[in-house]
């Protein structure tokens, strides 16, 4: 397998997929190294959720996954390889035109909003019974403000994963 032209960690913006398909909604993933990035659960391969994913590396370069090739099961023993649910894959990437960092932070904030646990951010009746209390809404707003305040990809990823990186 050839090394990918990415500088890690990378942010992946994954278009929403079934069963909860919402057109235009993106899931966020962070991959800290190539070994982690190229280990893909079997169901992602079956559903084809990796093709078309936008990747933003540490230097802000953008790549789109054009093709995914299954390289086999991951595991040390024969039985782990046979019954393994994670596969090693090889990605063919195409470089994309750069997205401004402000636009990227906006997409991240939109994803946070759209993927909130119960979708309460989109509800007009915030105080309705059964919806999270105001402090959770305030926490979401504070989280999005931290995303918007990030000045680099490393800071953005640190905000998403609640830990600083050196």
Cα–Cα distance list, 159 to 48, 91, 128, 143 (Å): 29, 27, 30, 8
Asked if 153 and 62 touch (Cβ cutoff 8 Å), the reply is: no
Among 2-6, 18-22, 148-152, name the most confident range.
148-152
Residues 6+ apart with CB under 8 A from 153: 11, 56, 57, 58, 59, 60, 101
Is it the case that residue 131 has pLDDT exceeding 70?
Answer: no
Buried b (16+ CB within 10 A) or exposed e, 146-165: ebeebeebeebbbbbeeeee
Model pLDDT for residues 84-105, shown as the tens digit of each residue:
688 899 999 999 998 999 999 9
C-alpha–C-alpha distance, residues 140 and 159, integer Å = 13
C-alpha–C-alpha distance, residues 28 and 36, integer Å = 15
Average pLDDT, the chain: 79
Cα–Cα distance list, 9 to 4, 18, 20, 155, 159 (Å): 12, 27, 27, 11, 13
Cα–Cα distance list, 64 to 20, 79, 99, 121 (Å): 23, 34, 12, 29
Rg of the chain in Å (alpha carbons) = 18
Question: What pLDDT shows up at residue 163?
Answer: 59
pLDDT band at 74 (very low <50, low <70, confident <90, very high): confident
Nearest to 148 by CA among 103, 98, 99: 103
Model pLDDT for residues 15-58, shown as the tens digit of each residue:
877 666 666 678 888 999 998 899 988 888 888 888 889 999 99
Model pLDDT for residues 102-128, shown as the tens digit of each residue:
999 999 998 887 776 544 344 444 444
Question: What pLDDT shows up at residue 120?
Answer: 36
Q: Which helix (H) or strand (E) holds 31?
A: strand 26-31
Report residue 161: phi and psi, to 5°.
Answer: -110, 15
């Amino acid at each position: 397998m050839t090394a990918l032209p990415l500088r890690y960690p990378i942010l992946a913006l994954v278009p929403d997929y079934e069963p909860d398909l919402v057109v235009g909604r993106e899931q966020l993933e962070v991959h800290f190294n190539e070994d982690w990035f190229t280990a893909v659960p079997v169901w992602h391969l079956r559903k084809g959720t990796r093709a078309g994913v936008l990747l933003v590396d540490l230097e802000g370069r953008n790549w789109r996954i054009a093709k995914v090739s299954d390289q086999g099961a991951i595991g040390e023993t024969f039985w782990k390889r046979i019954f393994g649910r994670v596969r090693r894959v090889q990605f063919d990437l195409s470089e994309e035109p750069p997205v401004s960092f402000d636009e990227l932070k906006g997409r991240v904030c939109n994803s946070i909003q759209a993927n909130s646990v119960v979708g309460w951010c989109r509800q007009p009746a915030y105080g309705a019974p059964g919806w999270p209390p105001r402090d959770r809404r305030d926490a979401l707003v504070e989280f999005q403000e931290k995303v918007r305040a990030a000045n680099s990809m490393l800071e953005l990823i640190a905000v998403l994963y609640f830990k600083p990186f050196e």
